[in-house]
Amino acid sequence: MARKKEEKKMEVTKHNSTIRFKEDVEYKDLLPVFPDLYLLFMELSDQIPDEGGDEFMHMVIDQNIKDLRKNRKPPGHNREARYRMIFPIGRDNVEFILYPRIAEEESEIEAITAKISEFLDENELEHEIIWDQMEYLMEEKD
């Protein structure tokens, strides 16, 4: 009796993404697009708060804009949340990281990253996407 070999398709799951801008981009260059970028991220990741959402969103955007105006690294959105957007310290280029804090099978990081990238393209901010550069950010969920 011959055994049939089952072919298993290897599925590569992406865990997080780094959006890295061209060398000549400075933090202040993100100032014109940051409010819309942040709102898009929050919408795509389904994280717009129900109650007090407008105040919270305005506060976080203002915090980031204060740093961007001074050409400094902004915090992004790094509170306990389903997804985070962080601007890491100690980098040569301006970049931010998108990563989920939910179960891998629930993550939509690829779709969120694609939409963010499309938005940046529309706003003529050249960038590249680097996948899974920050593995240690992923925490095992109980």
109: which residues sit within 8 A by CB, 6+ positions away? 14, 15, 16, 17, 83, 98, 99, 100
Tens of pLDDT, residue by residue over 55-72, are: 888 999 999 999 999 999
In this structure, are residues 125 and 114 in contact, taking their beta carbons and an 8 Å threshold? no
Give the CA angle between residues 88, 93, 95 to the nearest 5°.
45
Sign of the C-alpha dihedral computed for residues 106, 110, 115 and 116 taken in this order: positive
SS3 28: helix
Rounded mean pLDDT of the chain?
86
pLDDT reading at 139 higher than 90:
no
Residue 80: CB partners within 8 Å, gap ≥ 6? 101
Instruction: Decide if pLDDT at 103 tops 80.
Output: yes
The mean pLDDT value for 78-97 works out to 89
What distance in Å separates the CA atoms of residue 95 and residue 91, rounded to the nearest whole number? 8
- pLDDT surpassing 60 at residue 14: yes
Cα–Cα distance between 66 and 10 in angstroms, integer?
A: 45
Percent of the chain at pLDDT > 90 equals 61
Identify the pLDDT of residue 105. Answer: 81
Cα of 89 vs its chain's centroid, Å: 15
- The model's pTM is 0.83
Query: Would you say residue 140 has pLDDT above 60?
Result: no
